[in-house]
Chain A
Amino acid sequence: MLAYIIRRFFILIPTLLGVTLIVFMMLRLTPGDPAELMLGERATEKALHEVRENLGLNEPLYVQYGMFMKRLMKGDLGETIFTRQKVWVEIKHRFPATMELSLCALFISCFVGVILGIISATRQYSVFDYLSMLAALTGVSMPVFWLGLVLMLIFSVNLGWLPISGRLSIMTNLDVITNFYVLDSILTQNWGALKDSIWHLIMPAVTLSTIPTAIIARMTRSSMLEVLRQDYIKTAKAKGLSKFKVVYKHALRNALIPVVTTIGLQFGVLLCGAILTETIFAWPGVGKWMYEAVMKRDYMVIQGGTLIIATIFIVINLAVDLLYAVINPKISVK
């Protein structure tokens, strides 16, 4: 097991090197440069040259890449072009916000998705099955943007139950330790801030969870249906086991393997793909930050951010592979 993990970590290095090279080349091949966007209408050749010189963009590409790699070897992701801050520091500020939102959305998706999937599978072709799958289809096809605004209008503007946007109310004070506001509220025993941060989380998390919930529900349903047709399930039923035991003890465990893979992938997607949700709910996370960096061609942010996200993606995949063995002991990792 340990050898397997170590081997996977060694594969990580060439993968990430590949990522850096591809991202670097793609960025430089994309038209438009940061100096031009920084100066806008007032850009003159002279001013552009000075800004590019200052940012090191006048160097040949291989020199720029070499400089990036040299810094990377020292664990330095460089400095952002626009905010002149260490990329790592910028990520550290924003990543907890995205993580908090993604974890919350993932929790909702897993809970609702798996339960919906199981019930649909066990009551195939029932009204509930049709309704839940219709809901799942709606969830996948619903524009996040529209859903977010509708939720805001209902729960914030009309009912006044939930805050519209942001992570914390203006009047709430919180001593930030980890930047995970829920965790920080607990650590500092600030119960007012805990309630406030959870209240702020609900709508963006629900909005963000719709698509993964739908995907997980459909995956659970089809996987369960397949397992429920297996002979050993018939045996279990013939033995006189209760329906609950047959479904949850015998079928679910086997049916979960593809579901866990889906969940793992969805988590990765949530972590880097919450751009729309973060924008609508003014959630200061990584997705929106990366998107803005792409629009402004902040090469350093995109390079550093992609590297971090790629690493997380690979680690999540590894964790999913390891989970297989936990769920089904017949699978061993070598």
Chain B
Amino acid sequence: MKRIGTLLVIFMFLFSGGVFAAPKSGGTLVFGRGGDSVGLDPAYETDGNSFMICDNVFEALVAYADESTAIEPGLAESWDIATDGKTYTFHLRKGVTFHDGTAFDANAVVFSIGRMMKQRNVKFFGQGYEIPEQARTPEYWVSMEMDETVDSIEAVDAHTVVFHLKRVEAPFLANMGMDFADIISPTAFIKNPKEFLRQPVGTGPFRFVQWVKDDRIVLEKFDNYWDKTGGPYLDKVIFRAIPENSVRFLELKTGNINICQFPNPADIPMARSDKNLQLFSQPGMNVGYLSFNHTKEPWKSNVHLRRAIAHAINRKAIVDNIYQGLGQVAKNPIPPTMWGYNEDVPGFTYDPDLAKAELVKAGFPKGEGLGEITLWSMPVPRPYNPEGLKVGVAMISDLSKVGISAQIVSYDWGTYLKKQRGQPENMDLFQLGWTGDNGDPDNFLAVLFDGMASPSIRTQWHNQQYHDLMIKGKTTIDQTERSNIYKESLQVIFDEVGTIPIAHSTVIWPATVNIMNFKLHPTASVRMKNVWMK
């Protein structure tokens, strides 16, 4: 009798649409977002709203896992890395076609990646393509220093591509999963290079249909998609631009859109209590930090002073009140979901007494002799910091409690970025942050804090031990070994107070309850492939 009861419960659960419900095909999903895309050619875009479309229309050689940046096969089924770490051979998937009906092959890879190279050191297999001149700078390719990494690309046969690198670059594989490395249809591109960004053709689960500027982009299921094991399930996906957060949320509440990107934090409790809505949440792959002007004294060589600042700031209060709970206090300057994260680093506690003691050790008891310092704060909300100015105000109030007098400095966003890079004399502390590109710790730790690597590193922290670890991390291929290197570097940055990590923001998007299997990705990419509607 008991067994029958259990069976009945299972049976009812299955038929009530529980977790085991099979995905259903069909339906149109409307995604509400804050702005329109700029362009749809993955090599040339820099903004999330453009990549969001590219994520569904294109694919790269490797892909990130559903909810992490673990690398999985994409358009390449497998790959081999030569023992010297400088030759990557990708074995491509067969039977893949672009949305325009042309076949995906090794030449398409050489074309797509080769068009971003400054020196087009490429070799096609058989009859290749003439790669048109670059109309503009492929920003991501340049800022990820790919010209300094990739020496040549060669299509060995129709389904094998070899990348020869100039240097050992451990994050290379992770870079190949980023949007800029998406593979495009050479035929479609050559037909009209100037219009490709408005008529994108890839191999992804959805094909581009229509773009009404500042209003909507319509994608349709690609029936000949190569992966027959999962989605696409949706017939259509429509991305609507609704700039105002509250209006976007109203559209969700009335059921006109199915997913609402970036709601106001105040609307989240309302979404939580609405039985027609559900919440998707994911810790963002980002960090907001406070750093020092390491190019000048006393910040450059006074570790006690830096530590005093770190312990004086109540980061929990900032996360609770300004992030409105949509974040977590940062212990390390990389997000906890990333490999290489060091759990053993204790993190800076809020301890004004300790801060005062450190100030004495630093030679500035009660802040005397320090004068009024400046704290640069961002004028615009960023993914890692919702209100830079408010955070700045909270910080100077905390600093005043230990005797340090500080004033806020801010400029318009462009000027802020420009002036900050120059490490001006009137800058003592500054806030900034980062959103990860590829899930590799190098993309945070080297890019942000290894000042010895380049004068364009924003923190300009010069520490030989840290610099050596960064080089070692970049040139070591084995991930476990690399993970240990980055853990060690995180301890160094904590001990030396190279920077003060503030918080990692959490992304929460409400959606209607009929949306199934939608997963927020740490890289903020929006993938509709396996999403279906009840």
| Min distance, Cβ B64 to any Cβ of chain A, angstroms | 19
Contact segment of B132-140, B226-234, B314-322, B475-483: B132-140
| Min distance, Cβ B297 to any Cβ of chain A, angstroms | 25
Q: Which A residues are in CB contact (< 8 Å) with B412?
A: 31-32
Chain A residue nearest to B211 (CB atoms) is A93
Q: Does A250 contact B (CB under 8 A)?
A: no
The answer to whether A297 touches B414, judged by C-beta atoms less than 8 angstroms apart, is: yes
**For chain B residues 201-237, which have a beta carbon within 8 Å of chain A?**
212-216
Partner pick for B212 among A82, A84, A284, CB 8 A cutoff = A284
The answer to whether A31 touches B414, judged by C-beta atoms less than 8 angstroms apart, is: yes
**For chain A residues 286-300, which have a beta carbon within 8 Å of chain B?**
288-289, 292, 297
Chain A residue nearest to B432 (CB atoms) is A41
**For chain A residues 263-304, which have a beta carbon within 8 Å of chain B?**
279-282, 284-285, 288-289, 292, 297
**Known: A47-B143, A84-B197. Is A165-B212 also a contact (CB below 8 A)?**
no
Q: Which A residues are in CB contact (< 8 Å) with B456?
A: 43-46
| Min distance, Cβ B457 to any Cβ of chain A, angstroms | 9
Q: Which A residues are in CB contact (< 8 Å) with B44?
A: 84
The answer to whether B414 touches A47, judged by C-beta atoms less than 8 angstroms apart, is: no
**Known: A36-B417, A37-B414, A82-B38. Is A289-B214 also a contact (CB below 8 A)?**
yes
The answer to whether A149 touches B454, judged by C-beta atoms less than 8 angstroms apart, is: no
| Min distance, Cβ B123 to any Cβ of chain A, angstroms | 25
Q: Which A residues are in CB contact (< 8 Å) with B418?
A: 31-33, 36
**Known: A39-B46, A90-B213. Is A279-B244 also a contact (CB below 8 A)?**
yes
The answer to whether A165 touches B247, judged by C-beta atoms less than 8 angstroms apart, is: yes
Q: Does B99 contact A (CB under 8 A)?
A: no
Q: Which of B135, B247, B253 has the most CB of A within 10 A?
A: B247
**For chain B residues 118-169, which have a beta carbon within 8 Å of chain A?**
135-137, 139, 142-143
The answer to whether B414 touches A32, judged by C-beta atoms less than 8 angstroms apart, is: yes
Q: Which A residues are in CB contact (< 8 Å) with B432?
A: 41
Q: Does B198 contact A (CB under 8 A)?
A: yes
The answer to whether B198 touches A152, judged by C-beta atoms less than 8 angstroms apart, is: no
| Min distance, Cβ B447 to any Cβ of chain A, angstroms | 8
| Bound: A84/B50 CA distance, A | 13
| Bound: A281/B242 CA distance, A | 8
The answer to whether A164 touches B247, judged by C-beta atoms less than 8 angstroms apart, is: yes
Digitize B233-269: 1 where CB-to-A-CB distance is under 8 Å, 0 elsewhere: 0000010111110110011011010000000000000
| Bound: A164/B238 CA distance, A | 17
**For chain B residues 405-455, which have a beta carbon within 8 Å of chain A?**
411-415, 417-418, 421, 432-435, 447, 454-455
Chain B residue nearest to A285 (CB atoms) is B214
**Known: A51-B137, A166-B215. Is A84-B39 also a contact (CB below 8 A)?**
yes
| Bound: A281/B214 CA distance, A | 12
| Min distance, Cβ A111 to any Cβ of chain B, angstroms | 27
Q: Does B28 contact A (CB under 8 A)?
A: yes
Digitize A227-244: 1 where CB-to-B-CB distance is under 8 Å, 0 elsewhere: 000000000000000000
**Known: A84-B197, A164-B256, A170-B30. Is A44-B136 also a contact (CB below 8 A)?**
no
Partner pick for B136 among A33, A54, A157, A288, CB 8 A cutoff = A54
Chain A residue nearest to B417 (CB atoms) is A36
Q: Does B458 contact A (CB under 8 A)?
A: yes
| Min distance, Cβ B416 to any Cβ of chain A, angstroms | 8
| Min distance, Cβ A65 to any Cβ of chain B, angstroms | 21
Partner pick for A40 among B212, B247, B253, B417, CB 8 A cutoff = B417
| Min distance, Cβ B284 to any Cβ of chain A, angstroms | 14
| Bound: A125/B28 CA distance, A | 58
Q: Which B residues are in CB contact (< 8 Å) with A280?
A: 244, 247
Partner pick for A156 among B135, B250, B454, CB 8 A cutoff = B250
Instruction: Bin chain B's interface residue count.
Output: 35 or more
Q: Does A42 contact B (CB under 8 A)?
A: yes
Q: Which B residues are in CB contact (< 8 Å) with A188?
A: none
Digitize B97-135: 1 where CB-to-A-CB distance is under 8 Å, 0 elsewhere: 000000000000000000000000000000000000001
Q: Which of B194, B198, B244, B433 has the most CB of A within 10 A?
A: B244
| Min distance, Cβ A52 to any Cβ of chain B, angstroms | 9
Chain B residue nearest to A86 (CB atoms) is B194
Partner pick for A284 among B136, B143, B215, CB 8 A cutoff = B215
The answer to whether A31 touches B215, judged by C-beta atoms less than 8 angstroms apart, is: no
Q: Which A residues are in CB contact (< 8 Å) with B38?
A: 82-83
| Bound: A152/B215 CA distance, A | 19
Chain B residue nearest to A37 (CB atoms) is B414
Q: Which A residues are in CB contact (< 8 Å) with B415?
A: 31-32
The answer to whether A37 touches B244, judged by C-beta atoms less than 8 angstroms apart, is: no
Q: Does A38 contact B (CB under 8 A)?
A: yes
The answer to whether B250 touches A164, judged by C-beta atoms less than 8 angstroms apart, is: yes
Digitize B178-213: 1 where CB-to-A-CB distance is under 8 Å, 0 elsewhere: 000000000000000010011000000000000011
Q: Which A residues are in CB contact (< 8 Å) with B455?
A: 45
Q: Which of A39, A163, A282, A288 has the most CB of B within 10 A?
A: A282
Q: Which B residues are in CB contact (< 8 Å) with A38?
A: 46, 139
Q: Which B residues are in CB contact (< 8 Å) with A93?
A: 213
The answer to whether A83 touches B143, judged by C-beta atoms less than 8 angstroms apart, is: no
Q: Which A residues are in CB contact (< 8 Å) with B28?
A: 170
**Known: A43-B417, A164-B251. Is A50-B39 also a contact (CB below 8 A)?**
no
Q: Which of A32, A53, A149, A160 has the most CB of B within 10 A?
A: A32
Partner pick for B243 among A53, A160, A279, CB 8 A cutoff = A279
What residues of chain A have their CB less than 8 Å away from a CB belonging to chain B? 31-34, 36-47, 50-51, 53-55, 82-85, 90, 93-94, 149, 152-153, 156-157, 160, 163-167, 170, 279-282, 284-285, 288-289, 292, 297
Nearest 4 A/B pairs, CB to CB: A32-B414, A284-B214, A44-B456, A31-B415
16 contacts between A and B (CB under 8 A): A31-B412, A32-B412, A32-B415, A36-B417, A39-B143, A41-B434, A47-B143, A51-B137, A84-B197, A85-B198, A94-B213, A156-B254, A164-B256, A165-B247, A284-B214, A284-B215
